[in-house]
Structure 1
């Protein structure tokens, strides 16, 4: 029995814009939820001029989740490959994932700040949300 997860509007816009398949959307939703708390903390610490690059925190959260999808999938595949035939250390895998998220969030906050003065980068942030 599969449970239908409600996808936030901003994430749905990004999924549609990027033309992702349903299986990719499920993974993206997991990342979207996992990064919410640490991303919110970083978002709240930013100057208003940086937060004004996008219309809302949820738009930024969707962008960060999408950006993190590739590296997250690679890391999870690496953990699975290394765990074959061994007892998997869930705590170590979780720590690696948290470190990956922290680095990704740091990079995206840096890009958000840069987008204040870079029209091309600002347009990249906003493209999925333009109608």
Structure 2
């Protein structure tokens, strides 16, 4: 494919994304190279993250101001976890007999599992923050104006 046919990727303008996601990106000092990954995850994960949010008791939801904050925290967490897993792919020892297709399927399944665990861990942390003032403050500090 020639360069003429490859559309140039536009950098993500933080002014165009949700304020909550922008705050988490800035607070966690997410590298600009990850902005596209974070925003893509944010767009595709809303339904699954909403289910997790809805399953939380109100006391855990009250640690944050709203669902959008929860969603933003998870999106950034998933992006970092995804990068870590993908960095390990080249050195991962897989069985000799696996076809490339099977290896790709295994890697995709592993990545899905890691991303799911990010949601599960965030739910657990929010529940814990109800009784842990320091953890609760850590959550709120991300969104302090």
TM > 0.5: yes
Segments of 5+ residues of structure 1 without an aligned counterpart are none
SS of the residue corresponding to residue 2 of structure 1 reads: coil
- 2:45 paired residue among 19, 35, 42: 35
Q: What stretches of structure 2 of length at least 5 have no aligned partner? A: 1-7, 94-98
Counterparts of residues 47-58 of structure 1 (less than 5 Å)? 47-58=57-68
Contact 2:24 2:72 (8 Å CA) reproduced? yes
Which sits farther off after the overlay, 47-56 or 25-34? 25-34
1:2 partnered with 2:9? yes
TM-score calculated relative to the size of structure 2: 0.75
4+ residue stretches of structure 1 with deviation over 6 A? none
Summarize the alignment of residues 1-131 of structure 1 with structure 2, pairs less than 5 Å apart.
1-3=8-10, 6-82=16-92, 87-88=100-101, 89-131=103-145
Contact 1:53-1:116 at 8 Å conserved across structures: yes
For this pair of structures, how many residues does the alignment match?
A: 129
CA distance in 1, matches of 2:35, 2:64: 22
* 103-112 or 72-81, which deviates more: 72-81
RMSD: 2.2
When normalised by structure 1's length, the TM-score is 0.82
Which is greater in Rg?
2
- Structure with larger RCO (C-alpha < 8 A, sep 6+): 1
